[in-house]
Chains A and B, each alone.
Chain A
Amino acid sequence: METLESPPMPIEVFNVLSDVFSQAVTGELIGMSNFASLAETIDDPHEKMEAVEHANSERLHAEGFLHYAKKTKLRMNINVHGPYWGNVRKQFLSYAAQKDFIACLIIQEVMLESFAVSMYTDVGNALGGEAGELFLNIAEEEKEHLAHSSGFLRDALKKDPAAFISRFEELHINCMTILGEFTATTDLKGHCGVCNGECMKESLHHIGLDVSTMRGNALALYAQALDNIGIPGEKSIVWIAQLPA
């Protein structure tokens, strides 16, 4: 049987794929670190082990992306200290330092995972093939993290709705504002420190994507996650409307 080699990808596609994979690995490393920090906030041994397991799952995702990137010789730039990823991590650590388990859960498993699941799904559907399948499979696994938190947070909301919603709003302002700036059509806080050259948002069309649709889908999934927890619609819509764009 004859084996056909894939034709080399156009430089524009190579560049944007390099940036997409760099963002994905950076995000997974942030997730891995967050889950590891989350484990510190938990007293229950089973929950603690589960957090470490989630951290390991994020590590495996990062390895999966890195493996594909190496195979296809993508130009990787991994940077967890850039203005967006670095600030998200700082926010998470500030709550982890206070052993605020609920806050950590909301930031990692609701906010970051909503965006990860949605954006991986969009990228996976657009890329197709092996790379697409990789993104879609990881999106499926991230969905479990999203679902994992919903039941727990629903119970927390029922105990004291006013206090929970007020706390959630504070986290939304502190963390989702960063993601809002990051996913705006132009980087509102400058270069992310991950893309190799200029911001990849302008080049997403080379792989059949656009930043507006990706941001819209991510916000929709975040809104659904808030609904699942039980945040009233009249609150969630204001929070979303107040995000930078």
Chain B
Amino acid sequence: MDSAAASLDFAVIGHQDSWQNIERFVNSMRNAQQEKLSIEKIKASFSFIPPRDVFKVKVTSTSGAEINGVYIETFIDPDKLDASFARVNIGKVMQAAAWASKMSAGIVALGGFTSIVLEGNLDSFARYATKFTTGNTLTAAYIVKALEKAAQNRSIDIGKSKVLIIGATGDIGAACIQYLKSKAGKLLLCARNLQRLEKLAAALLQEQTTVQYAVSANELLPEADIIICVASSTGIQLTNCKKDVLICDAGYPKNLEDGIADSSVQLFHGGMGQVSGGYDFSPDYSKSIYHYASPYVIHGCILEAMILAFEKRVENYSSGKGNITVDKMEEIYSLGIKHGINPAPFYNANGLWQQ
């Protein structure tokens, strides 16, 4: 790795959210003459591989500035993202963090599931000169800003709407609540941990925010005009929603559509941004792991690190849990616009929304 030790503006630590992605990714590394490996064969080895950088990333700002980074794959098994595998997965994230530090990355985004390590224990990262961010501030900003735009386009008055937040006690869910508490008609809160939910609801009630909460989304779904899902959406069934409900799927993986029976709902994949100046991967694995309805779309958490790198703000911008303020959401959002980094166009598994 010493050979690649020239300092990097940023790094992204991430994981794949499906074996289908991994199959494309691994087979894209094989020669044309080599037999394609089946998912079963890939599964047998993939998660054994220690974290490492797998491609370089060059990002261009609309100002003309360029930054250079790398993507570090953790090789976390996408079927093992739940709490029972936390110890192994946290170990992989820490190995990836050490790798980023060894590559002298200025700022590192902990993408997707990997962010939980930084949400839970900032001290583990204190030993590194490299700075780390969960990227949750920009992800949350993109969720709420996109939601406001979608509501406006569809003549939905957020001030009169009941907004359901699934994953309300998480870092991104809490940030969305901070932003929406003075704008929404009523907040409907859903999270798995009742104790944390009660505490959150009590704090909001003290601020005169109208809230209702439940650990089961089913209890709140029939009332919701707008739904933000920032929890892992596996197993969530949106069967008894209002007709024409507006849904932002910002969970990991984004497969909320699988649980929707009614085709009249309006769902978009949230927390995503788009780089107007474009980005390049080298080697170019973009076709195997980044296939979106529009070019240069990328996760908000990753874009946060890129924006900080453009701004030369080497700091632990988003860390810990429940620390995201509306001011910081506005700040990172505005800094992004300065570099041509905006919320992604509305899309879902079927492609771009028809305007």
List the interface of chain A (C-beta within 8 A of B): 154, 157-158, 161, 165, 185, 212, 215-217, 219-220, 223-224, 227, 230-234, 236-238, 240-242, 245
Asked whether B52 lies within 8 Å of A236 as measured between CB atoms, the reply is yes
Asked whether B54 lies within 8 Å of A245 as measured between CB atoms, the reply is no
Nearest-neighbor residue (CB-CB) of A218 within chain B: B48
Provide 14 A-B residue pairs closer than 8 Å at the C-beta atoms, listed in order of the A residue: A158-B2, A212-B45, A217-B48, A223-B52, A227-B1, A230-B2, A230-B3, A231-B1, A233-B1, A236-B52, A242-B29, A242-B30, A245-B37, A245-B42
Asked whether B53 lies within 8 Å of A234 as measured between CB atoms, the reply is yes
Q: How far is the CA of A219 from the CA of B45 in the complex (A)?
A: 8
Q: How far is the CA of A104 from the CA of B41 in the complex (A)?
A: 30
Interface of B is mostly: mixed
* CB of B50 within 8 Å of the partner chain: yes
A residues within 8 A CB of B30? 241-242
Nearest-neighbor residue (CB-CB) of B34 within chain A: A242
* CB of B56 within 8 Å of the partner chain: yes
Taking the nearest CB of chain B, how far is it from the CB of A229, in angstroms?
Answer: 9
Given contacts A238-B29, A241-B26, A242-B31, A232 and B49 within 8 Å (CB-CB)? no
Give the contacting residue for A245; candidates B41, B52, B53, B56; CB below 8 A.
B41
Nearest-neighbor residue (CB-CB) of A184 within chain B: B41
Interface of A is mostly: helix
* In the complex, per-residue mask of B23-51: 1 if CB is within 8 Å of any chain A CB, else 0: 00010011100100100011011011110
List the interface of chain B (C-beta within 8 A of A): 1-4, 26, 29-31, 34, 37, 41-42, 44-45, 47-50, 52-56, 70, 72-73, 99, 283
Taking the nearest CB of chain A, how far is it from the CB of B281, in angstroms?
Answer: 10
Asked whether A223 lies within 8 Å of B45 as measured between CB atoms, the reply is no
Q: How far is the CA of A131 from the CA of B33 in the complex (A)?
A: 43
Q: How far is the CA of A241 from the CA of B36 in the complex (A)?
A: 10
Given contacts A219-B48, A227-B52, A154 and B2 within 8 Å (CB-CB)? yes
Q: How far is the CA of A157 from the CA of B2 in the complex (A)?
A: 9
Nearest-neighbor residue (CB-CB) of B49 within chain A: A223
Q: How far is the CA of A123 from the CA of B228 in the complex (A)?
A: 50
Q: How far is the CA of A206 from the CA of B1 in the complex (A)?
A: 40
Q: How far is the CA of A223 from the CA of B37 in the complex (A)?
A: 19
Asked whether A161 lies within 8 Å of B3 as measured between CB atoms, the reply is yes
Q: How far is the CA of A233 from the CA of B44 in the complex (A)?
A: 20
Taking the nearest CB of chain A, how far is it from the CB of B33, in angstroms?
Answer: 10
Asked whether B49 lies within 8 Å of A219 as measured between CB atoms, the reply is yes
If A215-B45, A216-B48 are given as contacts, then 17 extra A-B residue pairs at C-beta distance below 8 Å, sorted by A number, are A212-B44, A216-B44, A217-B48, A220-B48, A224-B50, A227-B52, A230-B1, A230-B3, A233-B1, A233-B4, A234-B53, A234-B54, A234-B55, A236-B52, A238-B29, A238-B283, A241-B30
